[in-house]
Structure 1
Amino acid sequence: MQLYTDAATAPTTNASAAGILLIAGGQQHQYKQPLPVSDNHTAEFLAAIAGFKILLDTYGPDQAVFFYTDSQVVAESVDKAYSKNFAVELATLLKLQDQCQVVITQWIAESDNHGAHQLAQQGLHLD
């Protein structure tokens, strides 16, 4: 199972949205949703949390997941299991990941996260 997440934040309003691309059994599932007003780094964590909630709600626990993010802060925080500035968000994300059989987290370049990025941009325009 592959999970790609991204967040988009409007610089003038700090409105944020998540883009989530989930690939399971060869099928692609796309999700976009508004997030609470926040800075972009917080929004990246919230997008990852939303992605894992969707994955767990749809497929249940004990999944093997390849998790891709273009946020170095999220990837490094998960790898270290530590974040000074995003401790609450990281703890929530790790608790969700702990319900999976295994999670391999990989940082990818923004250009390789195009699907989730587009969904996040579209999510900014949801009413």
Structure 2
Amino acid sequence: MQLYTDAATTAVNDQSGAGILIINDGHQHQFKQILPASDNHTAEFLAAIAGFKILIDTFGTQQAVFFYTDSQIVAESVDKAYSKSFSVELATLLALQDQCQVVITQWIPESDNHGAHQLAQQGLHLNDHSAGDK
């Protein structure tokens, strides 16, 4: 199973959206959602957390997962199992990953994460629509 996550954040108001792409048995499952207001690095962790929650809720635990992120800080923090600035988010992410049979985390360039990036942009625009509904 492959999991791609990405976050999009607007610097003006710190609104964020997540894009999650899961590929299982050759089928794509696309998800987008609003994230809590945050900086881009935090949003990348929150997108990864959301991705693993959806993966586990949809496909159950004990999955072998190739996790792809274009966030170097997420990839490096998972690899080291340490983050000074994002320890709470990392702990949540690692706890979710522990529910999977095995997780291989790999950093990929943004250009290789196009599907999740597009979904994150759409998730960010969900913020625009919800703000207009208030």
Task: Tell me if both proteins adopt one fold, taking TM over 0.5 as the criterion.
Answer: yes
Taking the aligned partners of 1:119 and 1:12, their CA distance within structure 2 comes to 20
Identical pairs, percent: 81
Q: Output aligned runs, 1:46-85, within 5 Å.
A: 46-85=46-85
Q: Distance in 2 between matches of 1:125 and 1:80?
A: 33
Aligned counterparts of 1:67 and 1:96: Cα–Cα separation in 2: 12
> Which runs of at least 4 in structure 1 moved beyond 2 Å after TM superposition?
none
Code of the aligned partner of 2:4: Y
Separation (CA, whole Å) in 2 of partners of 1:20 and 1:72: 17
Higher Rg of the two aligned structures? 2
Partner letter of residue 22 of structure 1? I
**In the aligned structure 2, how far is the partner of 1:114 from the partner of 1:101?**
27
Q: Which has the larger helix fraction?
A: 2
**TM-score in terms of structure 2 length:** 0.94
- CA displacement 1:19-39 (0-9 Å, x = unmatched): 000001110000000000000
SS, match of residue 125 in structure 1:
helix
Report the TM-score, using the length of structure 1 for normalisation: 0.99
What's the offset of the Cα at 1:95?
Answer: 0.1
SS in 1 for 2:125: coil
- Structure 2 regions of 5+ residues with no counterpart? none
2:19 aligned partner, one-letter code = G
Number of the residue aligned with 1:86: 86
CA RMSD of aligned residues (A): 0.4
